[in-house]
Every structure is written in structure tokens, then in C-alpha cells.
């Protein structure tokens, strides 16, 4: 077994760096930490080559070929205001911080089915076949490696492309060998792992998850409380590779993973991509709280017909998703601070598997609010969304930002990257700290982190200086 690196969490270092924003070059002595340049290829490794993964990879290739635009991606289209409103400095984020370019991305993945990315994308039915035909040679060249899979954790599916091993530690070693082989064959200088596989059954942490020592013992003993996603996470973090989790499984939300992440300077972040209904929830709920409008009930239901919908039809997998979706309101509305407004909310989330809709989910929300003197009102939201179209730009941004974190002395040894909460239904924080779910606080946190790294003033929106 390869040895684990024992480097201490990075401390903040003040160094001289050159501001790279065009036309604004200046020596910046306030930058926090050095950022290594994004040199060479960035390898993206994806457990789960289904609808989200193929929509992401096909999308990157389509954008590279000039066939489409990276709509929805903060790293590609977003800007960041610097200095005062009157300064007129709003560079693109990708020009402000050194991110990998789309041309630098190379891909691999694991799946329990043997379909290559072209076949998997065709089956997923998200992208138009005319676009897929133009990408066929590229997508067909990405074939899944054999997966680490346990049917007990995903009851609705089974497939032939699965690794065999004497123990879970043996499976972890096989994944580590895959990671090293891909790094060599692709010539990538850096790697990222992005879980886009099915949602696993609900479990809670046990003693096995509390430290690296107990986890490794449990891997050797085939402890049933170690889910496949944890084996991928362990393998990645042991190889010093950052890990993001698109599904609501526990996976890296465990003391063992935080320990490994810090030790090996392999950043981790939240879980479960914040795409459709929860995105709307984390936009509307802050508006109610801002105006002190009360909430008595929020009923959310979905119809969804893709494989994800089928997997979530199993009560164990649904429970994992339900926990993730239910958490957001409590943290945004803070019923302990506002008991008359939010102390008695009926919050229900349903997901119904309905094959005719495929990936084109429909999410309904019925929201019962109350205003002045307690008078009730209702809001209905009907979001006819495309799940994977909303998820793909999130995957891209997380890949590029996690790679930035890994190259940044200020961030790489911190473990959890709370500044990436923006992308998740269940953001991760250190134990004892409540997560921020409000989308606009999350966006401010993200952009302020970038400003902080580059030694720019944080934006507080105070604005008194304009009236001096
Ligand atoms: N699309 C969205 O808007 C969205 C939002 C939040 C979360 N998610 C989550 O993202 C994940 C992917 O969604 P999707 O629509 O692409 O689902 P999908 O069913 O199309 O793809 C998942 C793939 O994972 C594979 N898989 C399952 N277990 C595996 C394992 N142990 N190793 C390797 N491969 C494995 C399956 O064979 C399948 O091909 C799901 O967990 C979903 O809940 C999606």
C-alpha cells in the first residue's frame, strides 16, 4: 500500500503575487497564499457515467468545438466585481483566478454497465442525437472502468461491470491502481474525482467512520457500513485527489474523510447538487425571511422518469435524498430565532418515478405563507426543468474550483471547502457550525473567497463611502 502523505494543514502565507486581471496589473501584497499555475492536463474521474456525467462531458466537448455555450457556469460566464461600484472593474472569474481551461480537461469514469459515453448519453436521452452524432468519436473513446458496487446500497439496478476483491480494502487498492494508471496514460498533472453515481441507501455514521485507523480496519473486515462511494472517496483522498459528491450519500461527510482530506491536502466539499426544486427553495425561503412573512407549509412533489428516478423509487435511496432536501428550510428560516413565523412548518418532499418524462422532471411546490395579522396566502411553483442540463455546469464549476483549491496554499490543507456551498443541497461545514443554505449568501461567500485569495477588498455592500 502506498504511504499517506503527512503534511500539516497549510497556514496562511502572505506573498507577493501579480494581479492577473487584464489592464489592472499591480503588485498585490495582500494576496492570501500562493496559487500554483494551472499547468498541464486536469484529469476528471467520474464514478457513475449516467445522465449527469455524460451531459457534462458531452457539453464540455461541444463547447470546445464551438457548437454550444457554457450556459449556467459561473467559472465560464460569471464575473466578479472588484473595488468600488464606481471603479468599473468586473473581470470574468476565469480571468481573475487561474483556472484550468476546458481544453485541458481529460476524462475517465467507472460504471456497472459497459456502455461507453456515447452509448450512455444516447440511453440517457438528455441531449439531441444530432449533437451527439457530432461528438461520437470523442464520447465513444471514453469507456467505463469496472466499478466498486454493492447491490444492497442501490437496490433498483445491477450490472456486469463490477470489480471483485477479497475485501473492501482490496477494492480500494484496485481503485487506487486505476487512479494512478489514468494519471499516467492521460498525462494529467492533476486529478479530481466527481461522484455522479446513483444515490445509495440511507445509513448513519458508525464507529468505523470515526478515524482513518478504524476505517481501514473496517475495510479489511468488510464492514457492511462501508458503502461503495466511501471506497472511491478513500481511494481518491489517499491519492491526494480532491473529491466532490453529487449525490446525497454520506460518502465524505465523515470524520475519517475530513482527517484524510487534511492530511493529504485533497479538498472535499458538500453533497447533492443543488439543481431544480431545491435551487428554487433556497431562493424563495430567504425572500420570505427577509420580509418576515410566515410559513405554515411547503409541499414539494416531483415526477421524474430517468434512471435516477428509478433508483430513488427505492425507499432506502429516497430516504437519503429526502434528508438532503428537507434540511434546507430549517437552516434558512431559523425557527429558533423566529418561532411565531417558522416554528410550526409542515414540510413534505415526494419524488415519484414516472417513466414518460425521462430526464425532464416536473417539480411542483405548494407554499402556504402568511402575512400581516396572520392572513394566509399561497404560492405555486411549477418548474419544468431538465435535471442534467441544470447539473452539468455545476459539475464543471466544481471540477475547476476544486482544482484551484488544490493548487492554493491557503485552501488545500483546510479539508472542507465551505465556499463551494453554493453548489450543494447539503453544504458541508466543520462539526458544530451550521451550514449556509441561502443561495445569495453562498454566492457572496464564494466570490469573497476569490477576492480574499487575490488580496482584493471584500465586498460588504455597506456603501457609505459613496455619500462622503
Ligand atoms: N441531475 C440532477 O439534477 C441531480 C441533482 C442532484 C443530485 N443528483 C444525483 O446525481 C447522481 C447521478 O444522477 P444521474 O441522473 O446521472 O443518474 P443515472 O442513473 O443516469 O447515472 C448514475 C450512474 O451511476 C452508475 N452507478 C451506480 N452505482 C455505481 C457505483 N457504485 N460505481 C460506479 N457507477 C455506479 C449507474 O449504473 C448509472 O449509470 C444521482 O445520485 C442523483 O441523485 C442529480
pLDDT of residue 409: 93
**pLDDT (mean) for 438-445:** 94
Q: Ligand 1 pocket test: which of 196, 274, 279 has the largest number of ligand atoms within 8 Å of its C-beta?
A: 196
The answer, yes or no, to whether any atom of ligand 1 lies below 6 A from the CB of 43, is no
Q: What is the per-residue pLDDT across 111-161, written as a single tens digit (0 to 9) for each?
A: 999 999 999 999 999 999 999 999 999 999 999 999 999 998 998 888 999
The answer, yes or no, to whether any atom of ligand 1 lies below 6 A from the CB of 197, is yes
The answer, yes or no, to whether any atom of ligand 1 lies below 6 A from the CB of 219, is no
5 has pLDDT over 60: no
22 has pLDDT over 90: no
15 has pLDDT over 80: no
pLDDT band at 29 (very low <50, low <70, confident <90, very high): low
**pLDDT (mean) for 85-96:** 95
Average pLDDT, the chain: 90
The answer, yes or no, to whether any atom of ligand 1 lies below 6 A from the CB of 427, is no
State the Cα–Cα distance between residues 462 and 385, nearest whole angstrom: 36
Q: Ligand 1 pocket test: which of 150, 197, 353 has the largest number of ligand atoms within 8 Å of its C-beta?
A: 197
Q: pTM to 2 decimals?
A: 0.92
pLDDT band at 16 (very low <50, low <70, confident <90, very high): very low
Nearest atom within ligand 1 for CA of residue 273: 6
Q: What is the per-residue pLDDT across 374-399, written as a single tens digit (0 to 9) for each?
A: 999 999 999 999 999 999 999 999 99
The answer, yes or no, to whether any atom of ligand 1 lies below 6 A from the CB of 305, is no
The answer, yes or no, to whether any atom of ligand 1 lies below 6 A from the CB of 266, is no
Q: What is the per-residue pLDDT across 258-294, written as a single tens digit (0 to 9) for each?
A: 999 999 999 999 899 999 888 999 999 999 999 999 9
Closest residue (by CA) to atom 12 of ligand 1? 196
Amino acid at each position: 500500500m502506498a504511504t499517506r502523505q503527512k503534511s500539516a494543514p497549510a497556514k496562511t502565507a502572505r506573498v507577493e503575487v501579480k494581479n492577473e486581471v487584464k489592464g489592472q496589473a499591480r503588485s498585490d501584497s495582500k494576496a492570501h497564499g500562493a496559487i500554483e499555475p494551472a499547468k498541464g492536463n486536469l484529469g476528471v474521474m467520474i464514478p457513475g457515467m449516467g445522465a449527469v456525467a455524460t451531459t457534462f462531458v458531452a457539453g464540455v466537448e461541444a463547447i470546445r468545438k464551438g457548437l454550444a455555450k457554457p450556459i449556467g457556469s459561473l467559472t465560464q460566464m460569471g464575473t466578479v466585481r472588484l473595488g468600488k461600484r464606481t471603479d468599473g472593474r468586473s473581470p470574468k472569474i476565469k480571468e481573475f483566478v487561474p483556472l484550468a481551461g476546458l481544453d485541458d480537461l481529460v476524462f475517465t469514469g467507472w460504471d456497472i454497465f459497459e456502455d461507453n459515453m456515447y452509448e450512455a448519453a444516447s440511453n440517457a436521452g438528455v441531449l439531441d442525437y444530432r449533437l451527439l452524432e457530432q461528438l461520437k468519436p470523442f464520447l465513444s473513446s471514453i469507456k467505463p472502468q469496472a466499478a466498486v458496487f454493492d447491490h444492497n446500497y442501490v437496490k433498483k439496478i445491477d450490472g456486469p461491470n463490477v470489480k471483485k476483491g477479497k475485501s473492501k480494502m482490496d477494492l480500494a487498492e484496485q481503485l487506487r491502481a486505476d487512479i494512478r494508471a489514468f494519471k499516467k496514460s492521460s498525462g494529467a498533472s492533476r486529478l479530481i474525482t466527481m461522484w455522479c453515481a446513483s444515490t445509495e441507501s440511507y445509513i448513519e455514521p458508525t464507529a468505523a467512520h470515526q478515524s482513518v485507523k478504524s476505517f481501514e480496519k473496517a475495510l479489511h473486515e468488510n464492514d457492511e457500513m462501508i458503502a461503495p462511494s466511501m471506497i472511491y472517496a478513500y481511494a481518491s483522498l489517499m491519492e491526494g485527489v480532491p473529491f466532490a459528491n453529487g449525490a446525497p450519500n454520506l460518502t465524505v461527510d465523515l470524520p475519517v474523510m475530513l482527517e484524510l482530506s487534511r492530511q493529504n491536502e485533497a479538498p472535499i466539499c458538500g453533497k447533492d447538487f443543488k439543481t431544480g426544486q431545491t435551487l428554487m427553495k433556497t431562493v424563495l425561503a430567504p425572500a420570505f425571511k427577509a420580509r418576515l412573512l410566515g410559513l405554515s407549509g411547503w409541499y414539494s412533489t416531483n415526477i421524474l422518469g430517468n434512471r435516477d428516478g428509478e433508483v430513488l423509487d427505492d425507499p432506502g435511496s429516497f430516504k437519503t435524498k429526502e434528508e438532503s432536501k428537507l434540511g434546507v428550510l430549517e437552516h434558512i428560516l431559523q425557527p429558533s430565532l423566529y418561532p411565531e413565523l417558522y416554528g410550526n412548518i409542515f414540510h413534505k418532499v415526494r419524488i415519484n418515478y414516472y417513466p414518460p418524462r425521462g430526464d425532464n422532471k416536473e417539480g411542483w411546490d405548494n407554499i402556504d405563507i402568511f402575512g400581516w395579522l396572520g392572513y394566509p396566502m399561497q404560492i405555486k411553483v411549477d418548474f419544468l426543468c431538465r435535471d442534467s442540463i441544470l447539473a452539468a455546469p455545476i459539475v464543471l464549476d466544481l471540477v475547476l474550483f476544486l482544482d484551484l483549491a488544490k493548487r492554493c496554499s491557503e485552501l488545500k490543507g483546510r479539508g472542507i471547502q465551505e465556499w463551494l456551498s453554493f453548489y450543494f443541497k447539503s453544504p458541508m461545514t466543520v462539526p458544530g457550525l451550521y451550514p449556509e443554505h441561502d443561495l445569495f449568501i453562498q454566492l457572496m461567500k464564494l466570490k469573497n473567497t476569490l477576492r480574499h485569495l487575490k488580496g482584493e477588498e471584500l465586498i460588504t455592500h455597506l456603501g457609505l463611502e459613496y455619500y462622503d
